Structure 1
Amino acid sequence: MLLLLLNVNPVIMSDECTTKFVYHLKKIEHDARRAATYSGDSHHKFLLGHMIVFRMHINKSKDYLEKYEKVYRDCGLLCETTSRMKRWHRLAIEEIHRVKDDIQHSKRSYRDLVSHARRKLNHLKKQALSRARDAIDEYNHCIRY
């Protein structure tokens, strides 16, 4: 009755309310999807960075072992005790130990990253629910008046 007094068509008003409601829901969905995508990209970049470091250490170790094997093939057991051969062997082992240490460090760091992301996504979930309730309330209010 109020709509008739205001010279407003109830069907148009309902369409306008529905359009606003759908817009709010799409916005909530878009924001949540963007936050989740950002979180996933962050994890992906973290893992790629660590894999690059692992590969770098492993390649260095491989280079030292190839040098060692090349000299060992040419000279045999006599050259195995030279300081150069010992150094290459030691450096190769050190690089492998660095990879092991880096793996432990990256596991701890990734666990922290996942924990933080879980808290952040739970917060975003609560925000999305709150915004959805607000959109529903606004829709109900719009329909009534």
Structure 2
Amino acid sequence: MNELTLAPRTHDLLSPRGAARWPEDRPRPTLRTLDLVIDGTSLLDRVFTQLPTFSLRSPLWIGYPLVVTHARALLGGGPSDLADDDPADHVALFMCPSCAIGGCGVLSARLTRDGNRVHWTDVGRQIRGVADLGPFTFDADQYDGVLRPLTET
């Protein structure tokens, strides 16, 4: 059984080329998200070990109303914003860091509930070069306890 937790994470939104040209006296554009952490390890960091230039980020943006929509989808209670070719039973785990809309790119997983368990299978099916990212099985009470507070904001 896996354990899901969330951790705040700040992402620099500049490309390496853009960062090199960015004026030092101006604040750099960043995005604050809630990172999906499975068994103590960031899922994003697992992807980075296979694809160091991976550009998608968690759709759980801190301080943005869309966090409610994405948290509900991860709970299985609403549609997830997916790419056109993703199956309807998938949820977005990572999305475009500029717009958080599935059409720009998404890494998803099939979400199923089976009694007191939540399963993520078929993880990252649409991202070439990503392997061994699942499946994951969570205790439903623990999983819901992590995500449900995000729907109450």
The normalised TM-score by structure 1 is 0.19
Larger CA Rg, structure 1 vs 2? 1
User: Which structure carries more helix by proportion?
Assistant: 1
Q: Give the TM-score normalised by the residue count of structure 2.
A: 0.18
More RCO (CA 8 Å, sep 6+): 1
